[in-house]
Amino acid sequence: MAFTFAAFCYMLSLVLCAALIFFAIWHIIAFDELRTDFKSPIDQCNPVHARERLRNIERICFLLRKLVLPEYSIHSLFCIMFLCAQEWLTLGLNVPLVFYHFWRYFHCPADSSELAYDPPAVMNADTLSYCQKEAWCKLAFYLLSFFYYLYCMIYTLVSS
Amino acid sequence: MSAPAGIPPRSAAVPGGARAPAAAARPPPCQNGPVQNQMQFPFGYGLHLENYSASSGHYPPVPHEAVPSQLNNQYVADYHSACYSIPVQSVMTTSVGPSMLNTQQLYSGAPHPVESAGGLTQGAISSASHLHTSVPQSYSAVSSHYSSSTSSSVASQGFPLSSGRYAMPTVSSAVYPNLSYPSMSVGSPYGQVFTSQSLPAVGQFEETNTFPDQSSTVPRTLQQQVPLGYNSTSWSTSDFQSAQDNFSRNNTGSLAKASNQINTVGIVDSSHPVSQNVQFTKPGVETSVVSSAVTSSIRTPVGDHLTEPASVPSNTQPSESLLQEAIDSSSTTSSASPVINNYDALEGGGYPETNSAASSPAPTPQTSRTPKPFGYGYPTLQPGYQNATPSTSAMQPSNPGHHSGFQQYPQYPGVNQLSSTLGGLSLQHSQQPESLRPVNLTQDRNILPVSPVLAPVPNLNSDLRKLNCSPDSFRCTLTNIPQTQALLNKAKLPLGLLLHPFRDLTQLPVITSSTIVRCRSCRTYINPFVSFIDQRRWKCNLCYRVNDVPEEFMYNPLTRSYGEPHKRPEVQNSTVEFIASSDYMLRPPQPAVYLFVLDVSHNAVEAGYLTIVCQSLLENLDKLPGDSRTRIGFITFDSTVQFYNLQEGLSQPQMLIVSDIDDVFLPTPDSLLVNLHESKELIKDLLNALPTMFINTRETHSALGPALQAAFKLMSPTGGRISVFQSQLPSLGAGLLHSREDPNQRSSTKVVQHLGPATDFYKKLALDCSGQQTAVDLFLLSSQYSDLASLACMSKYSAGCIYYYPSFHHSHNPAQAEKLQKDLKRYLTRKIGFEAVMRIRCTKGLSIHTFHGNFFVRSTDLLSLANVNPDAGFAVQMSIEESLTDTSLVCFQTALLYTSSKGERRIRVHTLCLPVVTSLADVYAGADVQAAVCLLANMAVDRSVSSSLSDARDALVNAVVDSLSAYISTASNLQQSSLIAPNSLRLFPLYVLALLKQKAFRTGTSTRLDDRIYAMCQIKSQPLVHLMKMIHPSLYRIDRLTNEGAIHVNDRVVPQPPLQKLSAEKLTREGAFLMDCGSIFYIWIGKSCDNSFIKDVLGYPNYASVPQKLTQLPELDTLSSERARSFISWLRDSRPLNPVLQLIKDESPAKTDFFQHLVEDRTEAAFSYYEFLLHIQQQICK
């Protein structure tokens, strides 16, 4: 029973993973909110509601955009930590997602500062469903990795 | 080709034989939608097959390939009627049949119709014959009338007799034309047959009726005949009155209804012949002579009508009234609108075609040579349609006749559906051999059809029969929807819709009703494709929920009858407009508010656009759409922002300058936007003064961003339209931009950068504006790079529109100046809808996933459009989420809710219905290549912005490669070595090549970034008809125009030169050519062009003396000049934006503008058409 760096990494990632799970859940909720307009059809056509709805969309997109960088950096932090701790298996499990995140981040189209979640673009049904699927997958991944980290943490604590 | 692959297997499953009429009434419970209708006639269908292939082999495909198939199709229809002696069905089918027949007759263009018509006239005393006497005027008109009357009188003759007897004449007479016409000269037997049949019928009804006037007698016994009889006579009020009297005396129920039908049809029909100068000259009958095609002349008769119906509703205490309205639609549609708005005209089935006829490229345009496909509010009607309409009118009124005559037949099986499905089946069926005919692309060098209409729209099979939405408003890339996503994937064709929802319509039924009937679960508006389960319930065709018919809907104020919900105009027209009740608005509808934001920096003043803008505004101030609440305001900006106080009571306009551009504020918030009528004098003063006010300015900076912020603040309480005129890169304040274009990269073949916006400012502003129901329209008039990619965002997301005038200068570039002037005229006076939302619904199982156009997507199926204008087009992509096994038809419905400029909340609803198919061959048969190319272009724009231009180009090429290779792999019997395409897709490679050479997507040729972006913006926001012209212009040779095949429009003869291939090989030095690129006409004159042409048409003695810049043809009093001018003005009339004319001499530097459009030729950077085909072939073989 020794408190190694690896054990520390797992403990930290356990905490951060909880945060990521929260992010993923938040994403799912946000996309659901974007997708469904709870107002009755007649209300939807009403200009006053239009304004509210538009503000809502912009706000959600704004928040979504704010969360992009924290999520990506937290996850990259994992990888760096596991790299340092020489936890190759865990690293290997996380690397694909890191690459995916890099791709997402640097593959943004416009010259502008905007990343993803551009209000006009995100409302297209295929973008939205893609984002939602992505969020569900990430949630599953983070949940599994949460338990994996938990196991690994105990394992490293016990074994060494 | 010979294999009738398209027969739905289900038809075989149902035993043949006569169907009990009762069965038609009740749909089998297990099926959804109108499927059951298709099942009705399997027997005839199957039987017909043999004949079908046999006969199709018979006809030489030379004149127009579609003809034989249509013929057969008719044959099918008629056959049904023969087999089943159910009057309702047979009447319906016969009338469907002949309508197609007409088309064919038209195209054969032979004299038979006249001949036979002559024969007919002798015998037929019936009112139908009046029409025949009108023959000599023009062939097309004749044939259409002729056959339509044929169908109706046939039906009517048989009608009073026994049903068995009935079937016989129907068959014989209807079949006759099918067989005889194309094969020549059997015209007169036909006439005789007809005559002999019609005589007894006429006799009969003369006995039964004592009225001297034929037209008024007709309705009593033979309802079907009525419309036509009325046709000729109904204009006179007295006639009508007498007819009405008769009705009220004799009968009140169905007969009254019939009278209404008459009325309607009379109107409809009359509106048709109009363009053809048909005269009804039967002596003894009171006729009004509709001699001229000018719409104003129709109005008189219509006016008569209008006065009568006024009394009609009062008799009949309508629970709801259909408003004759369209003030709005007529306000900007220069041409004939009032016709439909007639109270009575709203009812009746002939009507929707009138709609489409007025302006549409038909599903059948392959054959008609006369009209232009792009009938933008074009007053004349397409003969192809014309013939369709009368037949409908014949068909529709037959319903009441049946109801009264054959009581045992239930009233609500959705008779029209029945017939339509039937027609659809048969056409779908017959269409296949033609559209699936394999075309060897590498060998067939002349695939481009000769006439512009031929641009192959193997479109909407007539399953979308008469009732279906006009393809101008609503078009699908696949007119046969594949049943499953797997099938769609196999076909490798894009599935999507092309919409032009707010198109100027010459005729539109407007409905006022306190309850708008909608499905309770999916909120679909009731439409012609719903099925009535019984009198009190209808089944939604999108979600299949069964809904109650509200009490109010049971009563039809037009027919003054109760209990016929399927006769209501909502159910008879696929394009209708509702005037919404107060449920649809929370705040009062906004007034029309227009704000003009004008650049007055040195650059702008130098370019001289202000004069043109102010002049246009002055001219059109009274024509701005709006009511008494209309408001208007002006902002100018250079490095500061200037406001103009136009408050009523001031002696002159007051300029207020705000120089704090970092935090711009409104100096006097309430007097900047003023009522147009109250302050008109001040506004005029300002407009007169503006052009000179800044003449000496030295300010070169442009603070566009702050000016826009100010405009937004000014507009946010009301919403409305901001028109921004900008002449350079914004260089001050928020939203300033820097030049991003590297001129050396203009012709780069590799990467084209900066297609996306440089800043979020304009997008955010647009979203704010959209939230406040304000649209921003951008007019960019610049000589240098002005970063349209960023600026365009302000219009893209606020549902505005974008105009771009590269190197604009009022004197150096007169062509652009003229274009601006014309665009402005249209822009200022066209219809406008405020605070609009558009929702597109589709049958359960389909889902819409991507939208293209200028708007903001507010929820997954709701587009928010701050403004909607008649020139805006939209595209959507769809996918098939659940397989469509339980339905044979799918429907799409677009509902556009907007506030008209008169402050009314209105909903315009379009419904499109398409068949579902299960085989890959059917999917290819139904491919609409133009729609597919337009959708692909939209997708490619998205791709080039989100990924890269080369990606987008690859995707375009792959689209062709994939679809053609998928086709080749399905058709196993084809030799693999050659490049084969189904006939429906034969132009696909050509169009894609044209797209690749289009400014938006081309590489290797020097293209300015702004030009490229503008082309992309246009692709996203133009409706299909304009987009196609942009992608693939039409080329005509105009130095030898003849009257061969000419059409008559408004007393003018319009020559119809054949369409040329876009290749230099078609150009000769001896000729002069006109290229129609949609927004611009080029006239190219060869070096050794005939001097007589130059003298007669251009007004110069010889080639050398023709100036380099000529933007209009002189009005010379020579035949060739007249022909050329009438042809050009005819082309112009067909579109809302007046294209400018540019004359290009062979050696002038501007000739590259012309030659870049010759897409079939090789350029340094791009394939020729043949090379492109080889390239595709290579890719396929790989």
B1120-1165 pLDDT, tens per residue? 888 888 888 888 877 767 788 888 888 777 788 888 888 888 887 7
Q: Do B760 and A113 touch (CB under 8 A)?
A: yes
Q: Do B849 and A124 touch (CB under 8 A)?
A: yes
Give the mean model confidence (pLDDT) for residues A118-122. Answer: 76
pLDDT at B307: 34
Question: pLDDT tens for residues B1033-1043?
Answer: 988 888 878 77
Partner-chain contact B760 A51, CB within 8 Å: no
B849·A126 Cβ contact <8 A: yes
Chain B interface mutation, best of A45, A46, A54, A117, highest count of B Cβ atoms under 10 Å: A45
**Spatial contact of B263 and B230, defined as CB atoms under 8 Å apart:** yes
Sequence-distant (≥ 6) Cβ neighbours of residue B956 within 8 angstroms: B936, B940, B992, B995, B996, B1001
Contact: A123, B754; criterion CB under 8 Å: no
End-to-end CA distance of chain A: 5
Helices (H), B596-744: 602-607, 609-620, 680-693, 704-715
CA distances from B477 to B423, B482, B936, B1130 (A): 21, 11, 10, 29
Give the number of other Cβ atoms within 10 Å of residue A102's Cβ: 12
Q: Do A53 and B719 touch (CB under 8 A)?
A: no
pLDDT at B594: 94
- Nearest by CB: B771 against A43, A44, A54: A54
Structure tokens at B414: 């959705």
Q: Which of B414-428, B540-554, B997-1011, B1076-1090 has the lowest mean pLDDT?
A: B414-428
User: What's the length of chain B?
Assistant: 1182
Determine the residue of chain A that is closest to B944 in CA distance: A109
Range of lowest pLDDT (B308-312, B542-546, B550-554): B308-312
Segment holding B849, helix H or strand E: strand B846-852
For residue B857, which residues of chain A lie inside 8 Å, CB to CB?
120, 123-124
Res B1077 pLDDT > 60: yes
Q: Is the pLDDT of residue B648 over 80?
A: yes
Least confident of B120-124, B546-550, B816-820, B926-930: B120-124
Average pLDDT over chain B reads 68
* Partners of residue A47 in chain B, C-beta under 8 Å: 586-587, 590, 719, 773, 835
In this model, does residue B752 exceed pLDDT 50? yes
ipTM, two decimals: 0.83
- CB-nearest partner of A124 from B759, B770, B857: B857
- pLDDT, tens digit, for every residue of B145-174? 333 333 333 333 333 333 333 333 333 333
- Size of the A and B interface in Cβ pairs below 8 Å: 101
> What pLDDT is recorded for position B688?
93
Q: Is B716 on the interface with A (CB under 8 A)?
A: no
Tokens of B641: 């922002």
Residues B864, A45: C-beta atoms closer than 8 Å: no
CA-based nearest distance A121→chain B, Å = 8
The beta-strand segments (E) located in B415-572 are 438-440, 474-476, 481-482, 496-499, 510-512, 531-534, 537-539, 546-548, 555-556, 561-562
Instruction: Identify the CA nearest to B211 among candidates B166, B154, B259, B148.
Output: B259
CA distances, A116 to each of A54, A56, B35, B454 (Å):
18, 17, 45, 44
Axis-axis angle for helices B415-436, B383-405 (nearest 10): 150
Cβ A55–B860 below 8 Å, yes or no?
A: no
B254-271 and B350-358 helices cross at what angle (nearest 10)?
Answer: 10
- With bands split at pLDDT 50, 70 and 90, how would you rate the model's confidence at B776? very high
CB atoms within 10 A of CB B809: 16
Residue B41 is given by DSSP the state -
pLDDT digits (tens, 9 = 90+) for B307-328: 333 333 333 333 333 333 333 3
Find the range with the poorest average confidence among A66-80, B212-226, B890-904, B1120-1134.
B212-226
Least confident range from B651-660, B708-717, B967-976, B997-1006: namely B967-976
Q: Where does the pLDDT of residue A78 fall: very low under 50, low under 70, confident under 90, or very high at 90 and above?
A: confident
B719 contacts A57? CB cut-off 8 A: no
Instruction: State residue B465's pLDDT score.
Output: 66
Per residue in B699-716, pLDDT (tens digit) is 889 999 999 999 999 998
Beta carbons within 10 angstroms of residue B928's beta carbon: 27
For B188, what's the count of Cα atoms within 13 Å in the CB-facing half-sphere?
2
Report CA torsion sign: B1048, B1049, B1054, B1059.
Answer: negative
Cα B668 to Cα B593: distance, rounded to the nearest angstrom: 17
pLDDT at B611: 92
Confidence grade of residue B51 (pLDDT, cut at 50, 70, 90): very low
B809 contact partners, CB below 8 Å, separation of at least 6: B606, B607, B608, B783, B816, B817
Which pair of tokens denotes residue A127? Answer: 């973008």
Measured between alpha carbons, how far is B925 from B69 in angstroms, rounded to an integer?
Answer: 13
Torsions phi, psi of B1034, nearest 5?
Answer: -105, 140
The backbone region for B649, taken as left when phi is positive above 0, alpha when psi lies in -120 to 50, beta otherwise, is: left
Distance CA A127, CA A119 (A): 11
The shortest CB-CB distance from B757 to any of A35, A45, A110 is to: A110
In angstroms, the CA B730 to CA B735 distance is 7
CA B85 to chain centre: 37
User: What pLDDT was estimated at residue B26?
Assistant: 41
CA B374 – CA B462 distance, rounded (Å): 20
Give the integer Cα–Cα distance in Å for B673 and B682. 12
What tokens were used for B560? Answer: 């003054």
Kindly report which listed range (A128-132, B360-364, B741-745) carries the lowest average pLDDT score.
Answer: B360-364
CA distance A37 to chain B (A): 6
Which pLDDT score, from 0 to 100, does residue B494 have? 93
Q: Cα dist. A139→A116, A132, A135, A146 in Å?
A: 19, 11, 6, 10
Q: Is the dihedral of CA B1144, B1148, B1152, B1158 positive or negative?
A: positive
pLDDT in the model for residue B228: 34
User: Per residue in B59-75, pLDDT tens?
Assistant: 333 333 333 333 333 33
Residue B754 to residues B651, B740, B742, B948, Cα–Cα distance (Å): 49, 7, 10, 10
Check residue B451 and give its pLDDT.
65
DSSP string, B556-596: ETTTTEES-GGGSHHHH-SEEEEEP-GGG-SSPPPPPEEEE
**B898 reaches A (C-beta below 8 A):** no
**Chain CA centroid to CA B741, Å:** 38
B593 pLDDT above the threshold of 50: yes
Give the span between the Cα atoms of B936 and B84, in whole angstroms.
45
Q: Using the beta-carbon criterion (under 8 Å), do A123 and B849 form an inter-chain contact? A: no
**Would you state the pLDDT for residue A24?**
93
| Confidence check: pLDDT of B777 > 90 | yes
The minimal CB distance from B849 to the residues A47, A53, A125 is found for: A125
- The per-residue pLDDT for B996 is 92
pLDDT at A109: 52
Q: What is the DSSP letter of B502?
A: T
B657 pLDDT higher than 90: yes
Which residue of chain A has the CA closest to B773? A47
Work out whether strand B561-562 and strand B555-556 pair parallel, antiparallel, or are unpaired: antiparallel
Give the separation between CA B124 and CA B128, rounded to whole angstroms.
8
Reference B456, options B474, B436, B442; nearest CA is B436
Query: Hey, is the C-beta of B757 within 8 angstroms of any chain A C-beta?
Result: yes
pLDDT at A143 over 70: yes
User: Among candidates B1014, B1010, B949, which has minimal Cα distance to B741?
Assistant: B1010
- Close Cβ partners of B1047 (under 8 Å, ≥ 6 residues apart): B370, B371, B1053, B1054, B1056
Two tokens, residue B48:
């017909």
Helix pair B66-83, B415-436: axis angle to 10 deg: 140
B742/chain A closest Cα distance in angstroms: 15
Side-chain half-sphere exposure of B1154, counting CA atoms within 13 A: 26
